[in-house]
Structure 1
Amino acid sequence: MTEVRYEVTDGVAVITLDAPERRNALSVEMSQQLTDAARTAESDQSVGALVVTGGSHFCAGAVRSVLADTGRDPVEDGAYRNLETVYRAFTTVGEIGVPTIAAVRGAAVGAGLNLALATDLRIVSRTARLLPGFAQIGIHPGGGHFTLINRVAGREAAAALGLFGEEVDGERAVALGLAWAAYDDADVLERAMALATRVAADPALARRTVGSFRRETAPGGMPWDVAVELERSPQMWSLRRREG
């Protein structure tokens, strides 16, 4: 039985994590399903945006057995590949060539927080819980955790969450720049879909634009004159297309 649901509405692909009995903690199989769903969205040229959500609980991280197996023998081939599969779930979401939004209700913990931060934008519930969770179980952060926090909210937030294990709710996440907006639980997915549907109305333009966005906002930044040149080609493409 699949633990990842996939559907497309009005050009928006929606990936829903569906293992509520463990609060959507990522197993190896679920991680592979998530990767496959993200690649399916990318390969469908009618899709102009992707929303990742998890129902009442976003994602409680990786299942403990994956971490335990890795801990027993970190370089054993199977354990190493299994953890790599979990990592690939959120790195794939962060790399596919369409704009991505995380619609976060409940908790986003560890790898689940990485998944949310891998997207281009986050819409969260006011009562959402965003926390690393690594220190609480006695392990070092993984999956590029510090980089993900730093690139959306800066060094201070990366220290508070990743180093000192702080937890923030949805409204605090917005104040820190970890999320764009916070709403009541019942409105989170609808608001995320409204944003996604707007950009997905023109899938080709959405794909061109998100490529420029990611290059220009990559860690380290980009000089303005370089950004002008980088945007020139896709803008010329869009103008020529509009004029027929």
Structure 2
Amino acid sequence: MAAGSGEVLLDYDGAVAVVTLNAPDRRNALTSGMAGELMAAFDEVDGRSDVGALVVRAVGKSFCAGGDIKTLTDAGRDPAESSNYEGMSAIYDSFYRLGQVRVPTVAAVRGSAVGAGMNMLLATDLRIVARDARLLCGFLKRGMHPGGGHFVILSRLIGREAAAAMALFGEEINGDRARELGLAWESVDDAEVEKRSLELAARVAADPELARMAAGNFRREVVNGAVPWDVAMQFERPAQMWSMRRSAAGAND
């Protein structure tokens, strides 16, 4: 992969690609530039027929703290301004692109995941989380409407009631509760998260061609809600842009 900012790292462990969020100083919050690097990494993975699985991990105390504050603030001042609109689009596109990666995907989740960080882990096929992980939708707490198709990708995993508790009423859960709800396959000690994720990924990656075929059909057959994810993203976008602009206006009063 071509050199970038260093905030996204792409490595290979045999037939398993490992993408690392590497901006710990801002808790791996997504900027448009970082989102672009993520998409470039996913493109590279898709272009390699010898890769049969992908693990997404993060450096530091947070898996991903959501969208970068400056990116969100700028978008709130004028959501329709082209660079602001494109910046938010890049963040949306990064986790949506993860959901379209051709190989089976695993999120190795340690620390906290908030907002767009939740969308990132929800975009994968499987999640292994630390028992003490902190998972929080967090949009409404920030004065923002959820974005990126959040309601769809959350509720299709944990159902209506739990999705309402988290997305509307602000409930925070840990890794053990995530496993109980079906948001994660396993909750393990923090130090075991990446080891277990790589173990599972290596198993399916042993036959890359079959892994790609199976992942594609799994998603077509299983990963569908009443409203498709791409449609939900368009539903949520105007409401989120309105909420961000309202917040920016309030900050300037």
TM-score, normalisation: structure 1: 0.89
Deviation at 1:218, TM superposition (A): 2.8
Aligned residue pairs: how many? 221
Alignment partner, residue 202 of structure 2: 197
Alignment partner, residue 59 of structure 1: 64
Alignment partner, residue 105 of structure 2: 100
Deviation at 1:33, TM superposition (A): 0.6
Query: Residues 23-42 of structure 1: matches in 2 within 5 Å?
Result: 23-42=27-46
Alignment partner, residue 109 of structure 1: 114
Query: Residues 1-244 of structure 1: matches in 2 within 5 Å?
Result: 1-56=5-60, 57-220=62-225
SS in 2 for 1:188: helix
User: Which amino acid in 2 is paired with 1:156?
Assistant: E
* Contact 2:152–2:225 under 8 Å retained in 1: no
* Contact 1:51–1:192 under 8 Å retained in 2: yes
SS in 2 for 1:58: strand
Deviation at 1:152, TM superposition (A): 1.0
**What are the superposed Cα offsets for residues 51-77 of structure 1, whole Å, 9 maximum, x if unpaired?**
001134210001011111111111111
SS in 2 for 1:168: coil
Q: Which ranges in structure 2 are unaligned for 5 or more consecutive residues?
A: 227-253
Distance 1:220 1:72 in 2: 33
Larger gyration radius, structure 1 or structure 2: 1
SS in 1 for 2:64: coil
Distance 2:83 2:194 in 1: 36
Distance 2:85 2:94 in 1: 15
TM-score, normalisation: structure 2: 0.86
User: Which amino acid in 2 is paired with 1:166?
Assistant: E
Distance 1:53 1:42 in 2: 18
Deviation at 1:9, TM superposition (A): 1.0
* Contact 1:131–1:168 under 8 Å retained in 2: yes
**What are the superposed Cα offsets for residues 167-206 of structure 1, whole Å, 9 maximum, x if unpaired?**
1000000000000000001000000000000000000000
User: Which amino acid in 2 is paired with 1:96?
Assistant: V
Q: Which has the higher contact order (CA 8 A, sep 6+)?
A: 2
Distance 1:189 1:171 in 2: 16
Q: Which ranges in structure 1 are unaligned for 5 or more consecutive residues?
A: 222-244
Deviation at 1:151, TM superposition (A): 1.0
SS in 2 for 1:142: coil
Q: Cα RMSD between the aligned structures? A: 1.0
Distance 2:87 2:112 in 1: 23
* Contact 1:10–1:201 under 8 Å retained in 2: no
User: Which amino acid in 2 is paired with 1:78?
Assistant: S
Distance 1:67 1:181 in 2: 32
Distance 1:50 1:119 in 2: 9
